[in-house]
Structure 1
Amino acid sequence: MSKKTVLITGAGGGGSNNLIRSIQRSSYPVRLVGSNADRFILSRSLAERNYLLPRGDSGKGYAEALNRVAAAEKLDLIVANNDTEVRGISAVRDRLDAPVFLPSHATIEMCQDKFTLSSHLEAHGFRMAKTVSIQDLDRVEEAFAQFPDQERLWCRMRKGSGSAGSLPVSKPEQVRFWVKYWQEMRGVPENMFLLSEYLPGRDYAFQSVWKDGQLVLAKTCERVAYLFARLMPSGTSSTPQIGRLVNNPVVNDICTRAVQSIDPHATGMFSIDLKEDRSGLPCITEINIGRFFMITIVFNAVGHHNMAETYLKLAFNQPVEIPASERYDDIGSEETYLIRGIDNEPGVISRSALESSYISLVDEGE
């Protein structure tokens, strides 16, 4: 098979570098080109050749710049790997001289709006965190009154990633201050904020790849500890410091049915965040549509099937054979952990390797 040339956007950033590492771990014959709108981040790219491009949401010759790269590198595929690039590339896909492997634009727009997504899934019978849209700061008390049995609520933005603008709140005045702060300091309008039921339970990342409405492969990581948790107002983030691979049948079922309800012809990546409610039931909180999770490397370090390689094969209409028994459970026979930290390359380690990596002077039970 001839070697394909693939552009990875967001190159140099943690998520895209982890995607590149995952592809390089596979045996797939590919030449990787990178792009980014930030020259400093781009300088850290692991791709073979790199291009400085406009931002995906700039509207300033973005499609034309991508086409110049496509012509110069003879691109076989463009892979968008952050929310801005997914939205920007999807909007101009019909003007591009290289193919993409993305969900429909309507699906992308729905999933990138957390309130629209939540409303859709709730209407289709899914247990969702109760959510109201903040339209008027003078009526925040009315919004709070819709949660009579909740001591703590979750205030967050309806668009964006990385837990930006998220804060646990217990009083209306906290919401007013928080929203006004973002209005005045960052120009975010008040109707961009949501007030939601607080979900206290376990936190899951379900990464799945689809083709023509069929789930091909899915793997799940439970977030166990978080980077910067002590520094974040929320005490958490979407960026785990420690995660572990799991196979949770309830998570599998919820996520699979959710994607099918959103798009019967689902194609590409559906990376889904879930959090358990007080009863222990996982609830979808958002779908990172069209892209891999930043922690994608953990899904490709174990098992028989590399998700990044599977994605490329599907994008190029090449055969993929994954037994039904491994569609959700391709995570190896031993418990596996993801370990991340600032200025360290992400590590993936088995439980036995972890326990043999140190001499313990700690009494059991401490």
Structure 2
Amino acid sequence: MSKYKILVTGACGVTSRSVVRSLNKSKIFAGQCDFIGTDVCYNEYGIYEGLYKKVYKVPYFNDPTYRTIMQQIIDENQIEYAILIPEPEVLYWSENPFDVKFLKIPPLFSKQVLSKKSLYDALYGKDYIPQYQIISRKDMLNSESNIKLPYPLWIRDFAEGTTSGKGSLMASCYEDVKAWAVINKGIPYFMLSEYLPGRNLACFTLFSKGKLLKYGVAQRINYLMDKVAVSGITGNTSKGKLLNDKKGLDVALDAILSIITKTSETMNGLVVTDLKEDIKGNPIITEINIRHVAFTSTFANAGLNFSEYQMMILTGRESEIPSELTMTFPNDNIMLRDVDGIPIYMEHYNTIQIGEYYG
């Protein structure tokens, strides 16, 4: 009989499945968990992959029936713990918790970081926030004089919970701006922001009652099916690596603590700060995610298992979490991922040259 009954929301998504795989690698929790998934089931593959004991199709969090249905699932399966992934759902649980154990992200903090605009507004004046402008679709079409930033620039949707480069384009001239406004008729307002040419970073930070317990920094290098997205960003990394880089952490921590001080809350839970380096190599914040991202399982493969630490906190074993804040990774490590396969982590990687082989 399984010892831990864990609800995983957004179960069919890449990130939720990454969390489950990470727990299946844990020396503490592997083979000890019943995973019960809930999802709107847009991605049906996740239903049948076999990671969960059950996957329930549920409505979106803002549907009037959501709470009743979720409570029935919790009761029927005797759920004790929950790991929450879709960001609007994370915020809902933070404000309207169910009677299970989960890492509760501070609700005011969550609201502040849920959209790029509110995040940038909260950190206005910091040197790690990009130049940006909010502009209506109408003004974008009316005149180039309404564009206040130099080219190239990013155009993006900035709605709450927006992911995977939705509504995003790197514009090199006003003709690009106008064309994007014409194509995206359903987006009334856009964010324009400076183009950042450097590395794309993700900084994981795990907090418990205001204390930073663990962190890890990863680099996204290439994306799956990047040619199908105009932005070149699909949200799913095909090639990346784990970094020994504290610059990203320093920026992420300053931003998180600045916001949490303004909201007068105590930081708790796992957040992932996305950063892009400017032309000088300075990390600039692009967003803060109040959830895991898909790099979770790669960190676990390397021995830094954020999902395991999260469950250790929830099960009263926080004191057993190793005191080191992070790990040191080989500089030549790599993460490789394909549409039909789970991520591969290699500690030592060399590009194969013509005439060479691997095997």
2:195 maps to which residue? Answer: 198
Q: Does 1:260 align with 2:257?
A: yes
Output the aligned Cα RMSD.
2.4
Q: Does 1:336 align with 2:333?
A: yes
**Residue ranges of structure 1 left out of the alignment (5+ in a row):** none
Deviation, 1:261, is 1.1
Deviation, 1:85, is 2.7
Deviation, 1:275, is 0.2
Q: Does 1:33 align with 2:33?
A: no
1:304-363 CA-partner distances (Å, limit 9, x unpaired): x42111011123343245566x313x1444632111111112211121xx459x786159
Distance 2:10 2:203 in 1: 21
1:150-191 CA-partner distances (Å, limit 9, x unpaired): 3300001112011111101133343233234222xxx33x22
Q: Please list, as runs of the form range in 1=range in 2, the aligned pairs for 1:149-298 lying within 5 A after superposition.
A: 150-159=150-159, 160-183=162-185, 187-188=186-187, 190-191=188-189, 193-264=190-261, 265-289=266-290, 291-298=291-298
Q: In the alignment, which of 94, 98, 119 is matched to residue 90 of structure 1?
A: 94
Paired letter, 2:81 = L
**Residue ranges of structure 2 left out of the alignment (5+ in a row):** none
- Which region of structure 1 is more displaced relative to structure 2, 150-159 or 47-56? 47-56
Distance 2:24 2:117 in 1: 37
With over 3 angstroms needed to count, the CA separation of the structure-2 counterparts of 1:333 and 1:172, relative to structure 1, is closer
1:271-290 CA-partner distances (Å, limit 9, x unpaired): 1110001111010100111x
User: Do the aligned residues in 2 keep the contact of 1:213 with 1:263 (CA within 8 Å)?
Assistant: no
SS in 1 for 2:144: helix
Q: Does 1:13 align with 2:16?
A: no
TM-score, structure 1 normalization: 0.86
Q: Structure 1 vs Structure 2: percent identity of aligned residues?
A: 26
Q: In the alignment, which of 39, 54, 58 is matched to residue 49 of structure 1?
A: 54
With over 3 angstroms needed to count, the CA separation of the structure-2 counterparts of 1:36 and 1:236, relative to structure 1, is closer
Paired letter, 1:300 = A
1:115 maps to which residue? Answer: 117
TM-score, structure 2 normalization: 0.87
Q: In the alignment, which of 66, 71, 78 is matched to residue 67 of structure 1?
A: 71
With over 3 angstroms needed to count, the CA separation of the structure-2 counterparts of 1:341 and 1:178, relative to structure 1, is same
Distance 2:334 2:355 in 1: 22
Distance 2:96 2:335 in 1: 36
User: Do the aligned residues in 1 keep the contact of 2:202 with 2:272 (CA within 8 Å)?
Assistant: yes
Paired letter, 1:343 = D
With over 3 angstroms needed to count, the CA separation of the structure-2 counterparts of 1:244 and 1:169, relative to structure 1, is same
User: Do the aligned residues in 2 keep the contact of 1:215 with 1:256 (CA within 8 Å)?
Assistant: no
1:327 maps to which residue? Answer: 325
Distance 2:173 2:4 in 1: 55
Deviation, 1:45, is 4.9
User: Do the aligned residues in 2 keep the contact of 1:241 with 1:339 (CA within 8 Å)?
Assistant: yes
- Which region of structure 1 is more displaced relative to structure 2, 279-288 or 22-31? 22-31
Deviation, 1:117, is 0.3
SS in 1 for 2:302: coil
With over 3 angstroms needed to count, the CA separation of the structure-2 counterparts of 1:22 and 1:143, relative to structure 1, is farther
Q: How many residues align?
A: 343
